[in-house]
Amino acid sequence: MTTWTASDDRFDRLPLRRAGRSGLLLPAVSFGLWQKFGDRHPYETQREILLAAFDLGITHFDIANRYGPPHRAAEKNFGRLLREDLGGHREEIVVSTKAGNPIGRSPYLVGGSRKSLLGSLDHSLRDLGLDYVDIFYSHSPDLNTPLEETVSALVDAVRQGKALYVGISNYSAERAHEAAELLRAAGVPLLVHQPRYSIFDRRIEREDILGQSARDGVGLVTYSPLAQGLLTDKYLTGLVPAGARAEQSDFLSPDDITADYRTRAAALDALARERGQSLAQLALQWVLRRPEVTSALVGASSVDQLRHNLAALDAAPLTDAELASVDEHGVHGTGLRLK
């Protein structure tokens, strides 16, 4: 393993944005370990990408107990990175993790109960080798558990010194507002909400999650800005490349590469090319145009891919005419399995 030393100019690379009304600044682009950071992918490749991300100015690393495979593998691998490389920079990074989505057959390995959330957080801290995480999320709403119980678990995570801030993910606008009110009353303000958002997924616009978050003073850390790869040039021909996500993902399949998708994606790709950028760069820039969005989560399978996507931040602002063209071709639900 090669010796690594952090880049001296890492703090000059990415713009920072304030998370809601808090004092916490996050990079405009954060790194998510959702896919390709489990045990099926070489650790050396993971290490190369994550250390490059830090050198490129990414200081926020987003994980969950569910990420792998197997579940918890991403936390263990990131814990190894902290132990062997990044540990000396702990005060310079934001580590977030989540609990609540199923990670096993036991009723205590799913949901928003105190048992599920706080038990999982203790396990995550052991795997990460940390005394605390910066942000602890309720990964998804649990309609079978009183929201007050979920909120009390988040509050206690902070009061016990196991998390500095709390977040929620995939909540409706109404339930997110209710959680924000309960947390505010407990003296532990809701820092961030993590929903999905892309040119092909307008849910947070349609359901006023953008507006409600702004009114509540909550930052948005959005995920899947490239729509599982649909907003790249990977599927424009209609063929699924070997090893592509549509070939091996629970969230995308070859059946999702429809004629409508190809027509719309091709039009967006043409717009991007007119602007001198790739479709992926256009898609990421489009998400980040919203002032309510604190940070957009990206993953990467190589350092080159990461560098390419971050170049979206250098592009000229989108004009009104270009935004109208995106709206014309970026039809909500294209290629995606939306609830």
**Could you read off the pLDDT of 186-225 as tens digits, one per residue?**
999 999 999 999 999 999 999 999 999 999 999 999 999 9
113 domain-assigned: yes
331 domain-assigned: no
First vs last C-alpha separation in the chain: 44
DSSP H or E stretch at residue 149: helix 147-159
185 domain-assigned: yes
Q: State the Cα–Cα distance between residues 322 and 312, nearest whole angstrom.
A: 15
Return the pLDDT at 2. Answer: 84
As a residue count, the chain comes to: 339
Return the pLDDT at 275. Answer: 98
63 domain-assigned: yes
Return the pLDDT at 248. Answer: 61
167 domain-assigned: yes
Domain tally, the chain: 1
Nearest C-alpha neighbor of 60 from the set 217, 176, 219: 219
Return the pLDDT at 329. Answer: 98
Domain that holds residue 184: 10-228+287-317
Q: What is the mean pLDDT of the chain?
A: 95
Q: Which amino acid is at 119?
A: G
Per-residue DSSP letter, 317: P
Return the pLDDT at 254. Answer: 79
246 domain-assigned: no
Helices (H), 219-294: 245-248, 259-274, 279-288
The ranges of the chain with pLDDT < 50 are 247
17 domain-assigned: yes
Q: How many CA atoms lie within 13 A of 151 on its CB side?
A: 20
pTM (whole model) above 0.85:
yes
Q: Which amino acid is at 42?
A: P
List phi, psi (to 5°) of 3.
Answer: -80, 140
248 domain-assigned: no
Q: State the Cα–Cα distance between residues 105 and 337, nearest whole angstrom.
A: 25
List phi, psi (to 5°) of 296.
Answer: -110, 130
List phi, psi (to 5°) of 22.
Answer: -80, 180
Give the domain CATH number at 146.
3.20.20.100
List phi, psi (to 5°) of 26.
Answer: -120, 150
Return the pLDDT at 294. Answer: 98
